[in-house]
Amino acid sequence: KYMTYLPHSGLHNQRISLINAMIIAHALNRTLLMPELNIGSATFWADSNELAKQLELCPTYIKQNKKEASRRLRCHVYRNYKPLPVESIFDLSSAHALDIYTEQRSDMSRDYIHRHASAHQLNETVYSVQDPFRYSYQIHDHDPNLYAFAQHEEMNDKYLEHIDLNELRSRPETYMVFGSLFGTSRLQLHEPEMLWLREYLHRTTALNHPEIKHSSQKIIQALGDRYTSVHLRQGDGIFQKMATETIAQVESALLSNLTMGHVSNNNTKQVVQRLKSATSVQERLKHCQSLQGGAVLHQQDPQLEMIYLATDATNPQQEFPHMFDRYPCLFTLSDFYNAKILLQRKRHDKMDSLLPPMIDAEIASHANLFIGTPKSTYSAYVRYRNQHYRVL
């Protein structure tokens, strides 16, 4: 038996959908037919019928310049649609080790299940979980009536329908097709095994690309054994509107976390001045590295903390001047030589545009302390990976 779903949104939101799908597949003992991951611009949610049409037809309409057909199907968000196989982006070895079975879909055509059933000589019976509204359904592993009133209210707050996994287990159809599976609250889990599985998959479903590992390891080594990482997102949507508030929140959290257990030192001003007068990034990095080796001064003053900033800002020093002024040992991806080559090279490969934020995430994940942007799924990904590395 098989199951699949309709993908949408940006990469890290697609990752949440993928993890939700793997949990459901495991619970139902079905093989997950994985949609390809779009590494281009984020696409929007739509109701099941429209989203299925868009995923099948929009890339072709745009490629063939069918303007009227594109307009009718609202294909404008698919102009930078770049689908790739899941395992070219994420490492699923942890899921496979738990006997979660996956198979890569070769395309998003609506006749895919018909072709798949014919190729495997299977009975082509399909059960569709319709998704006509933004929050059509939530899936749970328990009877909500057995729960306390407050929890029950929380469950019914956003989703129109609640589907029991036991109901889905009893379905005899060969194929099960969901609409959207995005959302951290999409699965309402109670069973300890299911809760553990979700936490484990979030921690272990990691970015998977040799250049990510190679480039990030060099920068992690340069930052040293102990550094703090920060993610500041502000480039689109609600994050752009809340940019000033977000920066203030992150700066406050950074200051609060770094100040705990530290005592101010009168010599700090001299050291800060020396760092600010450095004539190159390499010179400043070298000075900062020398302060990280257990020096008493570093242990006493948070202003000299080694900090890595992961951000979508095009010019971080201009956009976050207070942070760079306060923390002279603050560095970004573009400060490192091997990353500069990557950032400057021409984008011939589909993956190239995605590599910088992926490398950013990997470096941020290895920090002693991570501070993220509220409500960002990218920050949520880094936080899970950071927890994973700290357990190792």
Looking at the structure, tell me whether residues 170 and 278 fall in a common domain: no
Could you read off the pLDDT tens digit of each residue along the chain, which spans 392 residues?
Answer: 999 999 999 998 999 999 999 999 999 999 999 999 999 889 999 999 999 999 999 999 999 999 999 999 999 999 999 999 999 999 999 999 999 999 999 999 999 999 999 999 999 999 999 999 999 999 999 876 665 544 544 555 789 999 999 999 999 999 999 999 999 899 999 999 999 999 999 999 998 888 888 889 989 999 998 899 999 877 666 666 666 777 777 778 777 777 665 555 667 888 888 898 898 988 999 999 888 765 444 455 778 889 999 998 888 888 888 889 889 999 999 898 666 666 666 555 666 777 888 899 999 999 998 988 888 888 889 998 998 888 76
Angle at 90 between CA 2 and CA 377, to 5 degrees: 100
Task: Decide which of 188, 207, 226 is a domain's last residue.
Answer: 207
- For 357, the domain range is 210-391
Looking at the structure, tell me whether residues 197 and 333 fall in a common domain: no
Looking at the structure, tell me whether residues 60 and 161 fall in a common domain: yes
Residues 6+ apart with CB under 8 A from 51: 6, 8, 45, 131, 179, 180
| Token code pair at residue 154 | 């929380």
Looking at the structure, tell me whether residues 195 and 258 fall in a common domain: no
Task: Decide which of 207, 234, 255 is a domain's last residue.
Answer: 207
State the CB neighbour count (10 A cutoff) for residue 201. Answer: 22
Predicted TM-score (pTM) of the model is: 0.82
Task: Decide which of 183, 207, 231 is a domain's last residue.
Answer: 207
Looking at the structure, tell me whether residues 193 and 250 fall in a common domain: no
At 160, which helix (H) or strand (E)?
none
**Contact present, 324 and 331 (Cβ < 8 Å):** no
Burial of 277 (0-12, 13-18, 19+ CB in 10 A): exposed
CATH number at residue 316: 3.40.50
Burial of 162 (0-12, 13-18, 19+ CB in 10 A): middle
